Copies of this chain bind each other. A is one copy, B any other.
């Protein structure tokens, strides 16, 4: 049995990406327009086939670079120059999830700071950042009132799972800094939490919390006034990845 290729059914394996960022106070995901059937013209998550000699994380990093120009952020390299956080999310393998053939998709979650306009093979009209509520509003209407078709395949489920992962993971890890530029203020970090969780946080308690959690933030010494108001201290992400004590998400 071991070497007989007929002993197991062949699968296609893909990686799909949930790329999240925070723009204009709302959590947005990268969506690309499908150029071919099935689901031609519909929005979908970026992704593609895993190549013959690639590891899954390599394939995800390659797709991420192709779609956004971002370098995947190796967990071992804390200096996040232009790197996004990238981690495996979950794997989706319903026999009917792709009408053409049996496809197993290993979804990955990427978190990136706010970026300029996306590019999908150089074609800007086929890729965009969209608020996740808009992408998940099945058959609803977008911000400009036009009807929005649901995402292709099972990508709505994948996106929902990715958003939920991000929401819960910024609670007990320093992952929220992956949404920020290399240097950021406490207020910018707070707006990340507010956008991802969709809640308002008390600026004073938030400030006390994040500056008091060891290893979360290290001051750079500089200040900025890019938000208006009194100048704010600039910070970099500290070495800690697990927050102790964790940030607490307010009750529903």
Contact = CB atoms under 8 A, between A and B. Distances in A.
9 contacts: A2-B100, A3-B101, A8-B13, A9-B49, A9-B50, A9-B52, A10-B11, A11-B50, A11-B104
Interface in A99-113: 100-102, 104, 106
Interface stretch (A67-75, A89-97, A185-193): A89-97
Q: State the copy count for this chain.
A: 2
A66 B84 CA distance: 42
Nearest to A52: B9
A144 interface: no
Q: What 3 pairs across the A-B complex have the smallest Cβ distances?
A: A10-B10, A56-B93, A9-B52
Interface residues of A, number: 34
Interface string A1-37: 1110101111111000000000000000000000011
A202 interface: no
A215 to B, nearest CB: 15
Contact of A95 (B2, B12, B53): B53
Contacts of A9: 49-52
A126 interface: no
Contact of A93 (B37, B38, B95, B106): B106
A233 interface: no
A54 interface: yes
B11 A95 contact: no
A2 B7 CA distance: 25
Nearest to A50: B93
Nearest to A51: B9
A94 B37 CA distance: 30
Contacts of A88: 90-91
Given A2-B38, A8-B49, 12 more contacts: A2-B36, A2-B37, A7-B49, A8-B12, A9-B49, A10-B12, A11-B11, A11-B12, A13-B13, A52-B95, A55-B93, A93-B106
A248 B170 CA distance: 18
A56 B7 contact: no
A56 B104 contact: yes
